[in-house]
A and B are shown apart, each in its own frame.
Chain A
Amino acid sequence: MMQCTSQQKIVYIFPDAMAPDIQKDYEKQCKKGYILYQINCAKCHTKNINGKNIIPDFTIEKISAYEIRVANALHSDSLTEERITAEELGIISTFFTYKARNSSKDSLKLLNKK
């Protein structure tokens, strides 16, 4: 279990039209989503490039809570219902929706690493 995740500084971008108190609620969800990501996904998906941890920019289509369990062969063991709930997958989706995109330089590095 990841109990003392070192909090990486993540920037979230919310639409301007979103009321500040709603933004606050979403930020709370995003932070929760970030921790759930760290627990359930980071081991395979976060890449360490020259000492810097880069989280990929997954799109919402890619992590739609239900399909994600069958989208990737490894997930049939790692993302079972005994390990993570659909609700939690939804929170991770929220995290990715509002996480600031990686710089193009980092995205490129990530691509090369794959």
Chain B
Amino acid sequence: MKIKLYTIIIILFSFIILFAFKSKETNSYKSLYNQNIENFNLAQEKLLTEIKAGNLNDKKDIVKIRQALNEARTKMKFLDFWLRYLEPNTYKKINGPLPVEWETEVFEKYEKPYRRVGCGLTLAELYLEEDVIEKDTLIQFIANSINATKNYTNDTITKELYNYHHFYLCNRLFLLNLAAIYTTGFECPDTSKIIPELEAMMKSNKQIYFYFNQTFESQALPNSYISLYDSALAFVKSQSKNYSTFNHFTFIQQYINPLYAINRQLILKHHVISKNLIDYSLNKNAETIFDKTLYNGQNAKGLYIRVNDSVQLSEIVTLGKLLFYDPILSANNKRSCASCHFPSQYFTDTSNSTAFQFDNSNRLSRNTPSLINVQYNHLIMLDGEHISLQNQTHSVITNPIEMASNQEEVLKKVLDCKDYKVMLKKLLTFTPQESEITLTHITSAITLYYSKFSNYYSPFDQAINQKTVLSHDELKGFNLFMSKAQCATCHFVPHFNGVKPPYIGSEFEVLGTPKDKAYKNLSEDKGRYNINPAYETENAFRTGSLRNIAFTQPYMHNGVFSNLTEVLDFYNTGGGAGHGLNVPNQTLSSDSLGLKPIEIKQIIAFLNTLTEEIPFESAPKKLPINKNKQFNIRKVGGEY
């Protein structure tokens, strides 16, 4: 009996061995993955040994540690393609850009922000720059990274490697990162290594492509993709190793954006299916990276989300436009949305740092933001208070220091206008789940109206999509923006806002914006801290879009700067801390960027190419008549 049992066990064991080897042979793609993980682990172990054995006060030992760190970074870059996509939160332990990040990703919008602790190679490298280096802290950064790397050999992750679906989605993210972060130093503190690292990573990715094509013949990358990728790599090799003289524009325009377009077609062709929340916002119908619909930020349609008929949509827009200009939404019938968001001024107010309060004498604490392109944010307001555009509109209408009205009053006054009532009753049929007209029917029409102005493109977009050319200075400005000026480490393509690939969250930064141009005091506005109090969020504000920046002055959350030269000077001198203010949690480096006046001019020339060709409209001639005569003296757009 016992012998029989042993025989069965042996046979079973042999089968397992046989099967294991067989799968290794037939999936060379997965073998490459395993091999790269192993190499990375070895490099990290070596680094840990160097740290443990080294004397951190001895320069020679620090050099050795740096060498081992570089080696580990290179090995990590060979895996970046997979690591970032397959398990993004674990990746932060391996290559987190910040020690602590507060995140509210799009699928967590209804929950409190999560505190995520970063570890790994980039933070270890930054830590080596500090005056006093504690061995234990350094060990911790690497030990955590080693532990995190182990997760990537779990079946739950590696099972993805047996089908082709994840590959095209990994590749999509890889291409987006090539356009948005890999060339900017976003997570590479030593700027002299950015381009060499890029080259090494792109070269090693050729192996990934090779083994993928060998393993998944029916879904292989076509020659058109491979040859363009080879040209991209040749371009990088031919370029300057200094990221400030690297031609970022041509790299994206000639190579990365077209590669993205091919990859996107392959996603459609092979019916690629995502099972990963990282793909939550990306839109596979967007043809290029610079398509405004690249990712879905806000639902501008609100309650009318499922209305797609153009006639019906234009009816909603017509209503939304009237409401936008109608002061009936305010308590005293003297203020409308257009009181602060002037449609002829890119839906902002360029004449004031901050607008008047409802009382028409005190000032609000923040500069009026442009409404154009706000829909490409996951959180609305500079402190991220609102999760939807409709909530934001609702809050302005009911805020005692803005429009000072309330839900019941607004509904009654609006429905007492016959024209509005007829229109809204019709729109009610578009929302069968709603039994009656609500304030959300009103706010949704408003958000749909102003969001239509976000569908336009700028000369920069035309140029990056190869439809027009930019001048020498404009190109130079973009390349500086992506490198030495460090703008692109916070303002990511394509919207030049704080939403970075995979475009599922909004970033907040602490810049140390002063109260006034004298730089005597920090602005008193606590920003994100008001919503999510923490050390890291004090004075933090959501990064805004730079589109139409030439026409949306004054700048910063409090409108402290009146022109772009002042803004660039602020950054060039290291933000608030660089100007001598006490900003312990500033996320912007307090060092000077070392930009010359000509370079500042070139950056501004580039920023001017972000002005979108928007056909603005004139205000409606009149507003719907109300039953109650006293409301009919109200003025289109309000009085102040």
The residues of A with any CB-CB pair to B shorter than 8 Å are: 1-3, 5, 32, 35-36, 39, 65-67, 69-70, 73, 76, 80-88, 90-91
Contact = CB atoms under 8 A, between A and B. Distances in A.
Contacts of B108: 66
A39 B108 CA distance: 25
Interface residues of B, number: 23
Nearest to A40: B306
Contacts of A80: 296
A36 B433 contact: yes
B107 A35 contact: no
Nearest to A4: B432
Given A65-B107, A87-B388, 5 more contacts: A32-B434, A39-B433, A70-B275, A73-B273, A82-B305
B432 A85 contact: no
A25 to B, nearest CB: 13
A64 B339 CA distance: 41
B276 A86 contact: no
Contacts of B429: 3
A69 B432 contact: no
B305 A86 contact: no
Contacts of A76: 273-274
Contact of A1 (B276, B280, B388, B432): B432
Contact of B277 (A3, A70, A81, A82): A70
Contact of A66 (B107, B296, B432): B107
B504 to A, nearest CB: 11
Contacts of A65: 107
Contact of B296 (A35, A70, A82, A88): A82
A80 B429 CA distance: 22
Given A73-B273, A76-B273, A82-B296, A5 B305 contact: no
B6 interface: no
Nearest to A5: B432
B305 A85 contact: yes
Contact of A39 (B110, B280, B432, B434): B432
B299 A39 contact: no
A67 B430 CA distance: 27
Given A39-B306, A70-B279, A73-B273, A90 B299 contact: no
B299 A81 contact: yes
A92 B108 CA distance: 18
B277 A67 contact: yes
Contacts of A83: 305-306
A82 B277 CA distance: 16
A73 B275 CA distance: 8
A4 to B, nearest CB: 8
A32 to B, nearest CB: 5
B109 interface: yes
Given A70-B276, A86-B109, A81 B430 contact: no
Interface of B: 107-110, 273-277, 279-281, 296, 299, 305-307, 388, 429-430, 432-434
A83 B304 CA distance: 10
Return the 10 tightest CB-CB contacts between A and B, nearest first: A66-B107, A35-B433, A32-B433, A81-B296, A73-B273, A70-B275, A36-B433, A35-B432, A3-B432, A85-B299
Nearest to B307: A1
A3 B433 CA distance: 9
Nearest to A66: B107
A86 B107 contact: yes
B305 A66 contact: no
Question: Which of B109, B279, B299 has most chain A Cβ within 10 Å?
Answer: B299
Contacts of B434: 32
A31 B107 CA distance: 25
Contacts of A66: 107-108, 277, 280
Nearest to B271: A73
Question: Which of B108, B274, B429, B433 has most chain A Cβ within 10 Å?
Answer: B433
Contacts of B109: 86
Contacts of A2: 432
A70 B432 contact: no
A12 B429 CA distance: 26
Contacts of B281: 81
A73 B279 CA distance: 13
B415 to A, nearest CB: 21
Nearest to B109: A86
A91 to B, nearest CB: 8
Contacts of B430: 1
Contacts of B388: 87
A88 B281 CA distance: 17
A90 B388 CA distance: 15
B288 to A, nearest CB: 19
B70 to A, nearest CB: 37
A62 to B, nearest CB: 15
Contacts of B433: 32, 35-36, 39, 88, 91
A8 to B, nearest CB: 14
Contacts of A87: 388
Given A32-B434, A76-B274, A1 B306 contact: yes
Contacts of A5: 432
Contacts of B296: 80-82
Question: Which of B273, B307, B388 has most chain A Cβ within 10 Å?
Answer: B273
A80 B281 CA distance: 9
21 contacts: A1-B306, A3-B429, A5-B432, A35-B433, A66-B277, A66-B280, A69-B280, A70-B274, A70-B275, A73-B273, A80-B296, A83-B305, A84-B305, A85-B299, A85-B305, A86-B107, A86-B109, A87-B388, A88-B305, A90-B110, A91-B433
